[in-house]
Amino acid sequence: MLSYWEKQSFLQYDHIIIGAGIVGLSTALSIRERRPHDTILVLERGILPTGASTKNAGFACIGSLTEILDDLKTMNEHDVLRLIEYRIKGLAKLRQRLGEEEIGYAENGSYELISEHELMALDEFYHINDLLRPLLGQDAFSRADHKIKEFGFNKGLVKHVLQNNSEGELDAGKMMKRLIKLSIESGIEIKTGAEVVRILEDVNEVKVFLEHKHLGQHITFSCRQLAVCTNAYTNQLVPGLDIHPGRGQVLITRPIPGLNIKGIFHFDKGYYYFREVDGRILFGGGRNMDFGREQTETFSFNELILADLLEKLNTLILPDTHFEVDYAWTGIMAFGSDKFPVVMPHSKNIFLGVRMGGMGIAIGSEVGERLALMMMASD
Q: Which of 84-88, 105-109, 231-235 has the lowest mean pLDDT?
A: 105-109
Would strands 141-143 and 160-164 be described as parallel, antiparallel, or unpaired? antiparallel
Per-residue confidence band for 3, with pLDDT thresholds at 50, 70 and 90: confident
pLDDT > 90: percent of the chain: 89
pLDDT digits (tens, 9 = 90+) for 97-133: 999 999 999 987 799 999 999 999 999 999 999 999 9
Strand ranges in the chain using DSSP code E only, listed in sequence order = 12-18, 40-43, 59-60, 110-114, 141-143, 160-164, 168-169, 189-191, 196-201, 206-212, 217-228, 244-253, 264-267, 272-277, 280-285, 325-335, 342-345, 350-354
pTM exceeds 0.85, yes or no: yes
Q: What angle do CA 196, 13, 342 make, to 5 degrees?
A: 55
**Model pLDDT, residue 123:** 96
**Model pLDDT, residue 107:** 81
Mean pLDDT (the chain) is 95
What does the H/E/C string look like for 352-378?
A: EEECCCCCHHHHHHHHHHHHHHHHHHH
**Model pLDDT, residue 214:** 66
Distance separating the N- and C-terminal Cα atoms of the chain: 33
**Model pLDDT, residue 6:** 80
Closest alpha carbon to 188 in 37, 372, 364, 360:
37
pLDDT digits (tens, 9 = 90+) for 327-358: 999 999 999 999 999 999 999 999 999 999 99
**Model pLDDT, residue 8:** 83
- What is the DSSP track for 7-48? HHHSSEEEEEEE--SHHHHHHHHHHHHH-TTS-EEEE-SSSS
pLDDT > 70: percent of the chain: 99
Per-residue confidence band for 216, with pLDDT thresholds at 50, 70 and 90: low
pLDDT digits (tens, 9 = 90+) for 8-38: 888 999 999 999 999 999 999 999 999 999 9
Q: How many CA atoms lie within 13 A of 18 on its CB side?
A: 32
Q: How far is CA 174 from CA 19, 169, 192, 227, in A?
A: 18, 12, 18, 24
